[in-house]
Structure 1
């Protein structure tokens, strides 16, 4: 097995065999790093992160936006409330505890929680190689080790992998061929918008979707660009209130994971039908109210800045001299309408789940090199163990491999990009890893 020359930054890691390599160092694998330390994992570990530093939702750091979950559902508290890595201790060590408590906020500001994530990540800097975007993952049959290659040409070796690549944005087919500087997903919102605003005066922007994020983007556009016309296109009748009933919120309890995981495929579909609006196509009351009052305020001033095209499906998106034109079909009357001269289109269209639907993927793209080795169901969707482990299909062999997140289809809504169960999932992976690796030997290097 050949080993590429590594950057000076990671020269000490060249050829080294790690007991576990985590791919991605966002909240999910940060929670795992905490668990490995606090539960005294004896083996060596390394995390590979494609960005130059740890970032959490950097393109959605909108003024006033919050995290939509209780601050104690952080990176560690549900597993170990005495940890130094709790959000509460972050506030204490940064001399903001009493000021934060005095805010009277139900949920912390998104910008402060992002700072908390970066603060925790800083404690594990020695275990992270940044600027390392993974390009291939292979198994060396001679050593039965994973060989992870990054875009720098570096190669890292491991007895086990924990993948936390983040969720894949949904780009509807109508927008597949559009210029990415003018038509972009919310995960690129602030950066792309700022670039456009430098190039031209923004006059008309469309926001596609009926979620919390769609409203937050519309509010940001309304406050930031007073002369801007904003058009929202959504399938629903109007922005729907999120289901935050205490009974529905049990989907974020650890017991629900077992209930959901052990349910039949048909039972899972039934659960999903009932619980869809706890997490999707819905928004919190505060942002709905702010948008509604803002639109009323505009009306009082004789303005018509925000238009909502409800019960609508997008048929096409085509370039024009002044930007893009959306062709929208009103599903109630089956009438088509064109929305011309759009300077930008922001896609608040969500993320892919695992499955066979039009917006699903059978496995995360990062697993493409291992796909033929993975155990799948009859539709080709990867099977995920209760301990988040992926198994090899019959006739193949794989070292221990885990998916830290992206497991909503198997483990339920607590896996839908929420912080709620991160720390408990990290514990489950730690326990399984320890069992799979057995007695860990000292780190070695590939000759």
Structure 2
């Protein structure tokens, strides 16, 4: 019986492992991870791609700058600190940050079972002596884990538009599977590849395809007119401050929606200037050279997609003129983002792994899963006495953009979860933990 069962060992739960090591080393904790070894975004390790946040907003620095698990210390221990500080760039390369994440995962003294695909999270039978129901985690190869609590960090589900759901891999592949989807194509590939979307990832994929397959034709299909610059104003970037989490969490549902609409360009459907400028310049240079490798199809809705021999045919409708056309390509890369928790639009009501305990969790038909300020999923009436279950990294709808797959608040969120776990698991039977009354005080304490 573990004190805490943690599903997933990506950046969110790696940061949690560091917080547990530094704040609650006596806890009995088990991490269960699907992949055979620690990794971060392996399908998007593209040449020249960087991260989009300050490197010191890493797995631990905002919570404990003196920790040995900081990105700065990683550079120091690998003899790259001065060279990195001399780089002519604002952000680290994604490859280097992936190396940092892997280093922390391998260095922190966490008990991790790799290669274990979790198939179900349930409530086990009540303990005969205490009456408490432990969390039960089951894996595909028959392993069974029991815990007094659980922290679920499976990562957000890729959003695949309905018109593409029936298409096989690799004819249609989300960016989360980009490199495997093109692994069988050789450098002389001269076919046509479609990239759907207008995000940072879409441009990164196009630039990679241009360099990887010089003879290929690339068609970029997007619902908007063209690429928008990401809102990187320092005033807008304060949405990644801990104070904004408090502000957003306490806002009404209408207020949350207004904030989402206003602040969406800080993270979604937009791209950094460096990649936009690079793509535009490459397209211009191609024109000078008398060729056109990249074609833009803006203001297009994709109304159907079907397999056509070894390729894919897309039915497109121009949103302004209503003109309809067909586009046949060899493969489609979907830079269409990820699902959030919720009930409207590109959302899912709860993480798929929690479907078997949905009956004991509080779910609002309008807003979806009810999550406390300490990231604990609140229990329904039927779930009274159920063990605490936390969601780590999926709570943008309740906690704001800092939970939008960003590193910015990983360290502070981990502290909030550890503080709440300690209070709940050590509280006398029937007592109300302080986190129910005042929220995750550890976030506020960092101000």
TM range (shorter): over 0.9
- Partner residue of 1:318 out of 283, 306, 311: 306
State the 1:321 CA deviation.
3.0
1:362 to 2:346 alignment: no
Q: How many positions carry a matched residue from both structures? A: 422
Partner of 1:13: none
| Conserved 8 A contact 2:189-2:216 | no
Partner of 2:400: 412
Aligned partners of 2:203, 2:281: CA distance in 1, in Å? 13
1:385 to 2:369 alignment: no
> What's the C-alpha RMSD, in Å, of the aligned pairs?
1.4
Aligned partners of 2:205, 2:401: CA distance in 1, in Å? 24
Aligned partners of 1:200, 1:54: CA distance in 2, in Å? 33
| Conserved 8 A contact 2:187-2:214 | no
| Conserved 8 A contact 2:189-2:215 | no
1:141 to 2:125 alignment: yes
SS in 2 for 1:328: strand
Which deviates more from structure 2 when the two are superposed, residues 247-256 or residues 320-329?
320-329
- Partner residue of 1:182 out of 171, 175, 194: 171
CA shift digits 1:17-56 (9 cap, x unpaired):
1000110001000101001111134220010000001110
State the 1:380 CA deviation.
6.8
1:260 to 2:239 alignment: no
Distance 1:239 1:133, change over 3 A: same
| Conserved 8 A contact 1:202-1:343 | no
**Structure 1 alignment gaps of length 5 or more:** 1-16, 441-447
CA shift digits 1:165-221 (9 cap, x unpaired):
0010001011011011210000000011112x0599341000000000000000000
State the 1:439 CA deviation.
6.8
Partner of 1:273: 261
State the 1:126 CA deviation.
5.0
Aligned partners of 2:11, 2:27: CA distance in 1, in Å? 21
| Conserved 8 A contact 1:183-1:347 | yes
**Structure 2 alignment gaps of length 5 or more:** 128-132, 429-447
TM-score normalised by the chain length of structure 2: 0.92
| Conserved 8 A contact 2:240-2:402 | yes
Alignment of 1:44-443 (within 5 A): 44-124=28-108, 126-143=110-127, 144-195=133-184, 197=185, 201-340=189-328, 342-379=329-366, 381-397=368-384, 398-438=386-426
Aligned partners of 2:32, 2:427: CA distance in 1, in Å? 24
Aligned partners of 1:228, 1:430: CA distance in 2, in Å? 50
TM-score normalised by the chain length of structure 1: 0.92
CA shift digits 1:362-410 (9 cap, x unpaired):
0010101111111111337110000000121013231011000110000
| Conserved 8 A contact 1:261-1:412 | yes
